[in-house]
């Protein structure tokens, strides 16, 4: 039976420096992709997957983000303030752990959108979750099915779904900006700012980091160029999906 995931966190506190040449007047989560903001696309995606409560951390131009989110009624939004001190990806999530009830929850980067060829990627993560063997389950995409990404890949995945850091002999997969993670993964982590990479490397060494491959196309909207590529792809979709 698939895990029922009712809580999530959208990471929206980043400075978005690469996007400022396109939109210097707003935080990156409020950049529009074909008329819909990045954060609305993420919230709509989570809501469609039956998530009820979403924590959103805020830092850069936080008042603009607060005002925008106040206009939404679903899913329920809880703000996590980082206006005084930016906590990075790991520290930002750890700061909000009290909102997740000790249960696995989604984290979703605000600049990640994707087109699904079949089924819901978030529901695929929930169906694949096995808390006996994993502490985090990532959505990953083949490098060949990514746009707006200028790296060489992040991870390799084996037949059992274990993720390891990419080596030169492996097929490259890119983290798609979404994961299902248990709060216990944050045990014995630093206070204050730290990267989620600290947790992932620990889980890799314990063989408790797994991945599910996206059946579709992933778009990283982290720069003006990435936005241009994403809009070109989405314009070809009959319903402009890619929430």
Q: Distances in Å between the alpha carbon of 42 and those of 2, 102, 107, 152, 210?
A: 21, 23, 10, 25, 22
pLDDT of the chain, 243 residues: tens digit per residue: 779 999 999 999 876 666 555 566 788 899 999 999 999 999 999 999 999 999 999 988 889 999 999 999 899 999 999 888 889 999 999 999 999 999 999 999 998 999 999 889 999 999 999 999 999 999 999 999 998 888 889 999 999 999 999 887 668 999 999 999 999 999 999 999 999 999 999 999 999 999 999 999 999 888 888 888 899 999 987 665 655
CA separation for the pair 243, 220 (Å, rounded): 12
Spell out the domains of the chain, with CATH numbers in brackets.
7-234 (3.90.550.10)
Q: What angle do CA 75, 79, 81 make, to 5 degrees?
A: 165
Give the global pTM: 0.92
């Amino acid at each position: 039976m698939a895990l029922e995931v009712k809580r999530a966190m959208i990471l929206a506190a980043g400075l978005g420096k690469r996007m400022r040449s396109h939109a210097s007047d707003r935080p990156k989560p409020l950049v529009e992709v074909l008329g819909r903001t990045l954060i609305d696309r993420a919230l709509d995606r989570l809501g469609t997957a039956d998530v009820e409560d979403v924590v959103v951390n805020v830092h850069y131009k936080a008042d603009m983000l607060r005002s925008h989110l106040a206009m939404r009624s679903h899913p329920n939004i809880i703000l996590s303030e980082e206006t005084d001190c930016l906590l990075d990806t790991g520290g930002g999530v750890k700061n909000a752990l009290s909102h997740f009830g000790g249960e696995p929850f989604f984290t979703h980067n605000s600049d990640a959108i994707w087109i699904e060829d079949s089924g819901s990627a978030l529901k695929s993560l929930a169906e694949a979750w096995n808390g006996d063997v994993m502490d985090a389950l990532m959505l990953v995409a083949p490098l060949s099915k990514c746009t707006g990404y200028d790296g060489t890949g992040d991870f390799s995945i084996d037949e059992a779904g274990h993720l390891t850091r990419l080596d030169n002999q492996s097929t490259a997969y890119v983290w798609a900006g979404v994961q299902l993670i248990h709060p216990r993964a944050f045990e014995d982590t630093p206070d204050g700012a730290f990267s989620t990479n600290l947790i992932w490397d620990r889980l890799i060494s314990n063989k408790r980091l797994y991945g599910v491959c996206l059946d579709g196309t992933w778009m990283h909207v982290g720069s003006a160029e990435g936005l241009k590529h994403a809009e070109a792809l989405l314009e070809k979709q009959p319903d402009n999906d890619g929430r």
